[in-house]
Amino acid sequence: MTITDKDLLSMQEARNLAMSAYEAQKIWGKATQEQVDRVCAAMADTAFAASERLGRMAAEETGFGVAEHKKLKNEFASKHVWESIKDIKTVGVINHDTARSIYEIAWPVGVVAGLVPSTNPTSTAIDKILISVKARNGIVLTPHPFAVKCTLEAVKIMQDAAERAGAPAGLIGAMSKISLQGTQELMGHKRIALILATGGGPMVRVAHSMGKPAYGVGPGNVPAYVDRSADLEKAAKYIVASKAFDFSTICATEQAVVADRPIAARLAQLMEAEGAYFVNEGQADALRGILFHPNGGINAAATAKSAQYLAAMAGFEIPNDIRILVARVNKVGRDEPLSREKLSPVLAWYDVDGWEDGCECSLELISFGGRGHSLMIHAKDEDVIMAFGLEKPVFRIGVNTMGTLGAIGMTTSVMPSLTLGSGGIGGAITGDNVTVHHLYNVKRIAYETSAPPKAALHPGASSTGDASSDPQMLAKLVEEIVREVLKTQ
């Protein structure tokens, strides 16, 4: 590996930021709950007010997604996330269990290294800063190379608001000189206590290899099963809107419709009325060629682009009111690229015969590319819903909701977050929506609640053959040792 001057500058910046955050966190770790909440509220309010500008910056710099939808994600990351954590205690005694005579005390982890993706470059930064600072940690963010300016602007807004409200300088930082070596230097720095990684698979794997606690987010290859008992009008509206949202940049976006055969034709008609365009086989093959490289990797040039842009890339035309492209397929795996996660408004479609077949198809999709992440189900039959909930190896199962907004906690009551864990089965240490609870440790003061057993207090008899308690045995042992030593001389 060749190290350039750019890499050296990036590595030095990482060291400086980690040390600055460490020194500031030693101060912040002694903050009161009132001080913590004042600073976080100021950051949330300021970020919310800047949501539109930051969303526009992100769309313009990256070329990904829809500025209006990015604004909504920024508002979610500031307002919704803050509302969900503002009343959570993170200082001092956070719980007293009188029945068990235990006090629980919050303790910050220290300095967090946060990796920020290009697909959600400002909203993820806002989210990670809020939950880290609320837990009395420092944080240093690494922007994606495609999104440095907008991420740095989001960080600056949060920094300025925090310091005006009383946070120490240096508590919140972000790298401006981006390189792989610099990012690795940050994650491996001795003052970094925890890594919060949201991004592509390779970078998340690097985060997990640093020998530190790391919350990593895996890919989401989210199936949406539509049962014969579903409200089809609602399902069609939600699936199309969710897949079109910010051109499919949220990892919980639906990647395939798994349609129960008795309602499949009607569901397709309703989705077409909402702006879905069902491609023919030739068009589907052209989409396979532009969305992925031959090795299966996602083509960044086709990421988070409009349906019209993708159709033009693939060599065909569609009406201007089309929102998503849908391809009918019948295989899952390496031989069918469209069964992968697609960070674009392209949706695979599978016909199945009954919920049992729907279960099997969904399991195939999840196992191929989204273990532990999310699944959506549209149904009214509670037995079917519960069967999916019990059977699927995922940790978010959204019922009759949009995948994008349901999984992150905007339209459901799961904890609002833009970092969605995939659990042990997905290579992560949690299956939760990562929030402030994951960024502090808990120490416990435990009083005696039952007397020890009498045997534990009794001195007991000497163990048979224990030389240390028998002078004659000890003398014999020493004699044998001396004899053996003399033999070797």
Extents of the domains making up the chain: 5-217+435-443, 222-416
The predicted structure's pLDDT at residue 183 = 94
Active-site annotation, residues? 251
Residues 6+ apart with CB under 8 A from 116: 124, 125, 128, 141, 142, 143, 144, 147, 151, 198, 199
How far apart are the C-alpha atoms of 115 and 206, rounded to whole Å?
Answer: 11
CB atoms closer than 10 angstroms to residue 46: 18
**Fold matches, 5-217+435-443 and 222-416:** no
The predicted structure's pLDDT at residue 464 = 52
- Residue 29, both tokens: 């770790």
Chain-centre distance for alpha carbon 486:
66
- Residues 196-229: tens digit of each pLDDT: 998 766 777 788 888 899 998 767 899 999 999 9
Residues 6+ apart with CB under 8 A from 212: 187, 188, 192, 193, 194, 195
User: Is pTM beyond 0.85 here?
Assistant: yes
The predicted structure's pLDDT at residue 204 = 76
The predicted structure's pLDDT at residue 166 = 98
**Domain 5-217+435-443 class?**
alpha beta
Contact 328, 257 (CB under 8 A): no
DSSP state of 146: G
The predicted structure's pLDDT at residue 257 = 98
* N-terminal to C-terminal alpha carbon distance within the chain: 54
Which segments of the chain have a pLDDT < 50?
Answer: none
The predicted structure's pLDDT at residue 203 = 72
- Residues 377-436: tens digit of each pLDDT: 999 999 999 999 998 899 999 999 999 999 999 999 999 999 999 998 888 889 999 999
- One DSSP character per residue, 226-251 reads E-TTS-HHHHHHHHHHHHHGGGT-ST
The domain made up of 222-416 is a member of CATH 3.30.300.10? no
